[in-house]
Amino acid sequence: MVADSFLKGKVISTDNLSTVSTEWTGGDTYIQSKLITRDLGVFNSPDEFYHQYGTNLSGLKELLFRYHIRKEMNRKVSQIRTCAEVEP
């Protein structure tokens, strides 16, 4: 893929990859700006988000998310928001 062409992947979307700064300066990076289609708001926890918007999971994936992944995700978000060290 040519660096000057539109690049869209799972974790990055930008018009020009060669102009993307990966150094954190404390400001907005908008490295996924091409993937933003609408503002869904700010939520106190992942549970609040999924309560409002739901998931697109079913079967085993839904069970894993509901009983394991969701709890881990909420724990990590809580650690990040309280500036605690996040454990993998």
For 62-83, write each residue's pLDDT tens digit. 899 889 898 898 888 888 888 8
pLDDT category, 60, cuts 50, 70, 90? very high
Q: In terms of pLDDT, which residue wins out, 26 or 52?
A: 52
Pairwise CA distance, residues 77 & 1, whole Å: 35
Phi, psi angle pair for 44, to nearest 5°: -75, -25
Q: What global pTM score does this model have?
A: 0.50
Q: Could you tell me if residue 31 is left (phi over 0), alpha (psi between -120 and 50 degrees) or otherwise beta?
A: alpha
Q: What is the pLDDT of residue 1?
A: 42
Mean pLDDT confidence for 26-36:
69
Pairwise CA distance, residues 63 & 57, whole Å: 9
Mean pLDDT confidence for 36-64:
88
